[in-house]
Amino acid sequence: MKLYVTNADYEKVKNSFLNFRSFSVINVQDIIKSFNYNSESMNEYSQFIVNNEIQSILRESIAKKKFFNIIYINTELTIEKIENLKEYINDTESIDKFIFIDDEENSNKDVYPLFDEIILYPKTKRVRIMQCDTIKNPMYYWINNR
């Protein structure tokens, strides 16, 4: 199973890929809204509640055979949040690839080293996620500033 991470909004992700229904989608902004929290004014307690819900959805998605992969959507993605997510999925052992979906090359290159692979959103039409352009080795790419 692969975990795709993006900082784009839900509508962009939904409109970019053909096989969207075969993915379990975790939209962090929707989870925050479901608890009537505001992302700017979250305290430690509310962050704990939201993180607990995200982990619960991840566990459910991994356990269900209905989904092939998971898409994690967070428009307020930071390096710390990515590291926490990666640490959690490393404990599950069910996720074999940690992939970032980027708008265009180098727009978020500071996070590239944290991922196994980088894929780029399609520019013209909806495609299957597997047909997107990829950057196979993000660490090499990031080190050489290409």
> In angstroms, what CA-CA distances link 31 with 2, 45, 57, 91, 133?
21, 15, 10, 23, 30
Average pLDDT of 48-69?
Answer: 87
Q: Identify the bridge partners of residue 97 per DSSP, sorted by sequence position.
A: 2
**Residue 83 pLDDT grade (very low, low, confident, very high; cuts 50, 70, 90):** very high
The CATH number of residue 12's host domain is 3.40.50
pLDDT at 123 over 90: no
Q: β-strands 23-27, 2-6: how paired?
A: unpaired
Q: How far is Cα 14 from Cα 96, in angstroms, rounded to an integer?
A: 23
Q: How far is Cα 114 from Cα 104, in angstroms, rounded to an integer?
A: 17
Domains contained in the chain, number: 1
Q: How far is Cα 50 from Cα 38, in angstroms, rounded to an integer?
A: 11
32 exposure class (CB count in 10 Å sphere: 0-12, 13-18, 19+): buried
Query: What is the pLDDT at residue 62?
Result: 86
pLDDT at 14 over 80: yes
Query: What is the pLDDT at residue 132?
Result: 65
Closest CA relative to residue 110, chosen from 84, 76, 139: 139
| Total residues found in the chain within this entry | 146
Average pLDDT of 105-125?
Answer: 79
What's the whole-number average pLDDT of the chain? 82
Q: How far is Cα 95 from Cα 67, in angstroms, rounded to an integer?
A: 12
The range of the structural domain enclosing residue 123 comes to: 2-143
**Residue 112 pLDDT grade (very low, low, confident, very high; cuts 50, 70, 90):** confident
Query: What is the pLDDT at residue 109?
Result: 79
Query: What is the pLDDT at residue 143?
Result: 59
- If one counts every other C-beta atom within 10 angstroms of the C-beta of residue 110, the result is 10
